[in-house]
Structures are given as structure tokens and as C-alpha cells.
A and B are shown apart, each in its own frame.
Chain A
Amino acid sequence: MSSSRAKAQTALEVLFIAGIILIGAAILLPGYMNTNTDTVVLMHVKNAADNACSYLGTGVEVNDPAYSSLNAVIKEANYSSIQCKVSRTFIDSSTESSINLNVTVIYSGPLEVSKVKNAISGFIENWLESKGFSRVNGALSYGGKTVSITVKVVRA
């Protein structure tokens, strides 16, 4: 009799502790997922920008729809390699529903800044779409967040 009561008490204790752990997890999770989404978006954008630059660097045209916007620039540069590097990629601002990223690219060569800028931002958006980002009303979206990317191109 007394032993069964003791057992019931401990079960309640365990429930209590489990409850505390669950509440802790519930408080922790949203913030963690939010940061995780930001990190994944940043990694994808950084990756896409790096790929755009190394693609322009080789100066080889690959007949693939993903590279179509960069191919125009390569053709215009007469298949010569375009010295290009990503100087900085960072999260400008991030809220519950949207994230703004900035990408700065430095290049040298005779090409116009606006053309390189359009090619790189076009490529990044294409790339993200192929990596599981969705288009909602024309804007990129990932993990419930609207992603907007500002590409800044500087001629060295």
C-alpha cells in the first residue's frame, strides 16, 4: 500500500521535470529555428555568389539554363575570364517574416557595372529557386520568410 503511493509520487515528479524540460524546449525552439533559417539562407546566398564569380572567372560557357544570365556576360567579354570576387555577404536585417541580405562583388574588366550586376543577381535568384526557395508573389521565400537580396557590384 505505502510502496504504491511512493511510486505514484515519483511519477508525478517525473511528469513535473518532463514539463519543465518541454517548456524549456518550447521557449528555445522558435528562436533556434529562426536563427537556423537565417544561417541556411546566408549560406545559400554566399554559395550562389561564389559560384557566379568562379563561373565568370573560368570564362567557359556551360549550356545550362541555370547559367543563362551569366553566359550573356561571358559572350560579351569574348570568353576571356572576368576577374571577380565576392568581398562581403551579410544579413542586413532579419525579422520573423522577412530577411534582407547584402552581397558585394568586386570585378575588373571592360564590362558595364549594370550588366554584371543584373547577371549576378539573376543567377543568384535562379540558383536559390533551384535549391528549394519558393516564389511567392514574385518574391523569394524560404522557411516562411521573404528573402530579398541586394547585389552591389563595384568595378576595381
Chain B
Amino acid sequence: MRRKAQITFDFLIAIMLVTVTVAGIVSIASGETANARTFDSAAKLKILAVDLRDTVTQVYAAGDGFTVRKELPFELKAGDSVTITLNSTTNRVEIAATLGGKTFKVAQRLQVPLYATSSITLGQGERDFNVTAQNVGGEIHVLLQG
């Protein structure tokens, strides 16, 4: 009986030391999950931007009337929105997104010329959009359509 009490006592001290260490690790880990989610969204948007850059090049090369249907790599929930712009001034594909209350912005330089700026905004439940090439007065315009 007496022995048992002794063991519990130093065991308690050992547990206390372990708890101090674990508390430190838990505080780091809890912050990490929120962070990992942000990075997940950021990485997906980056992939979308690179994919769109390649798609625009492909559509431009294929010429008049060619259309590629693209799909977002994630689902948009209530309050989320994604705006994709083909900007002819900066010659970039620009994506601005609001996902889970956070605003993301990413851009990719295009290797083909854009003659017209076109833009599309996707909201909750929307996922698809078209990338279309149109011949306007001898110039191939690459446009985004819903």
C-alpha cells in the first residue's frame, strides 16, 4: 500500500514534465492545421493558373472556333468566388479568389498575345467555363465564356 503511493507520486512528477512538453507541441500543431488549409487552396489556385496559361496557348494555336471547357479543381462553397481575367494590358492570366473568407491573388504571364481583356466570375455551385478562340479581323482573340 505504502509502495504504491510512492510510485504514484514520482510518476505524477514525470507526467507533469511530459505534459509541459506535449502542451508546447499541441500549440504548434493546432496552428499548423489552419495554415495547411490556406496553403492547400493557394497551391490549387497556382495549379489552375499554370493550367490556364497552357490552355490559352493551346487554344490560341488551334485557332478560330476552338473551345476548351475547363473545370475548377475545387468546389465553391457559400461565400466563395473566383474571378479569372485574361488581361491584355499586362498580358497575364490573373486569378482573384475568395475562399473561406481569405482573398487569394495569383497571376501567370502568357506566352501568346492577348488582344482583348475578358473576365469571368464563378460563384457558389459554378465550376465550368469555356476558353474560346475567335478570329476578329485576322487576330485570334482568346476569350473566357461561362
**Is B79 part of the binding interface, using a Cβ–Cβ cutoff of 8 Å?**
no
Band of interface residues on A: 20 to 34
Establish whether residues A131 and B27, one from each chain, have CB atoms under 8 Å apart when the complex forms. yes
Given contacts A47-B32, A55-B39, A63-B103, contact A21 B10 (CB under 8 A): yes
In the complex, residue of chain B having the shortest beta-carbon distance to the beta carbon of A11: B2
Chain B residues bordering chain A, tally (CB within 8 A): 31
Residues of B within 8 A of A131 (CB): 27-28, 31
Residues of A within 8 A of B102 (CB): 62-64
Which residues in chain A, 57-88, are within 8 Å of chain B measured between CB atoms? 58-64, 78-81
If over half of B's interface residues share one DSSP class (helix, strand or loop), that class is named, otherwise mixed; here it is helix
**Is B105 part of the binding interface, using a Cβ–Cβ cutoff of 8 Å?**
yes
Establish whether residues B107 and A78, one from each chain, have CB atoms under 8 Å apart when the complex forms. yes
Chain A: residues with CB nearer than 8 A to chain B? 10, 14, 17-18, 21, 25, 28-29, 32-33, 36, 39-40, 43-44, 47, 51, 54-55, 58-64, 78-81, 131-132
Residues of B within 8 A of A39 (CB): 21, 24
User: With A62-B42, A132-B27 given, can you name 14 additional A-B contacts, CB distance below 8 Å?
Assistant: A17-B6, A25-B10, A25-B13, A28-B17, A32-B20, A33-B20, A39-B21, A60-B43, A60-B106, A62-B104, A63-B104, A64-B38, A79-B49, A131-B31
Establish whether residues B28 and A61, one from each chain, have CB atoms under 8 Å apart when the complex forms. no
In the complex, residue of chain B having the shortest beta-carbon distance to the beta carbon of A131: B31
A60's partner among B6, B10, B45 (CB-CB below 8 A) is B45
Establish whether residues A78 and B109, one from each chain, have CB atoms under 8 Å apart when the complex forms. yes
Establish whether residues A21 and B13, one from each chain, have CB atoms under 8 Å apart when the complex forms. yes
Residues of A within 8 A of B21 (CB): 36, 39
Interface string of B1-35 (1 = CB under 8 A from A): 01001100110010001001100110110011001
Can you name 9 A-B pairs with beta carbons within 8 Å? A25-B10, A43-B28, A47-B28, A51-B35, A58-B42, A58-B43, A59-B46, A60-B43, A131-B28
In the complex, residue of chain B having the shortest beta-carbon distance to the beta carbon of A20: B10
Q: 8 nearest interchain CB pairs?
A: A63-B103, A60-B42, A79-B107, A61-B105, A40-B24, A60-B106, A58-B42, A25-B13
**Is B117 part of the binding interface, using a Cβ–Cβ cutoff of 8 Å?**
no
For residue B87, give the distance in angstroms from its CB to the closest CB of chain A. 12
